[in-house]
Amino acid sequence: MSKSIYQQVLGADFDRLHPKVQERFGIHSKSLKGAIGRGSMDRVWHGPLYTLPFLMIGTWRHIMFPEQGQNVPFTIENWAYLDSFGRETVTWLRSFRLGRGRRFDAYMVRDPHRNLIVDYLGTHQHLAVDIHLSVAENGGLRLASGEQRFYEGRLGFKFPMLFSGVASVCEWFDDETGKHRIEVEVRNKLWGPLFGYSGAFDLEWVDLSPGQVPDRVRPLREESRH
């Protein structure tokens, strides 16, 4: 039986997740299902004014953005497929109805040699981020970012954390409201809080035929290096 990249990394700890969280993060390319979450972010925020140029750069590749607001309509799409290198891939495509609309795209694979998740950020997968998984006390999934690497053509180097952010993400299921909840914070060691959001959404499952994952959800460029 196939296992999702999250189940492979967490091993037996995967069973400690809330059943709804297990269902959500149990998808893989043979599941023939996609998950679309629709809801509202109670708050989308950014750091002090001096962080705005950094966030503006992120808009070029759908990584981060400088707007903020409350009760922001939100969509997240999780699709599982095999990329052009044959790797199990799960999308995290987040859309925020802010201004003309903002996106935060990410594509997750598992590095089998280190047994951790690598998160390729943006439409061109230039930034590869190590993601460490754990189970939260509320049965949610915690994701903490680690080392980051920049790839472009033959160029590849460890990205200086002075110019980047460390992300902390928690997704869980709220039994009282019957909704999935998410909380994200991105910080820089020197500059402090950069960006974040928190809110809730309902999940809709989409049945797929083999090879039916929409082309629009795939990145414009795929990176083979972990």
**Mean pLDDT value of segment 156-171:** 79
For residue 77, is pLDDT > 90?
yes
The residue among 156 and 56 whose pLDDT is bigger is: 156
For residue 73, is pLDDT > 80?
yes
| 221 beta partners | none
E strand residue ranges, 83-222: 88-96, 102-111, 116-121, 127-135, 141-152, 155-158, 166-174, 179-188, 192-207
4-53 residue pLDDT tens: 999 999 999 999 999 999 999 999 999 989 999 999 999 998 776 555 55
Please say whether the beta carbons of 156 and 149 come within 8 A: yes
CA distance 201 to 207: 19
CB atoms within 10 A of CB 39: 19
In this prediction, residue 193 carries a pLDDT of 85
In this prediction, residue 2 carries a pLDDT of 85
In which band, very low, low, confident or very high, does the pLDDT at 194 lie, cut at 50, 70 and 90? confident
Q: What are phi and psi of 163, to 5 degrees?
A: -110, 15
The residue among 31 and 161 whose pLDDT is bigger is: 31
pTM (predicted TM-score):
0.90
Q: Domains in the chain, ordered, with CATH?
A: 5-217 (2.40.128)
Please say whether the beta carbons of 179 and 168 come within 8 A: no
**Mean pLDDT value of segment 118-131:** 89
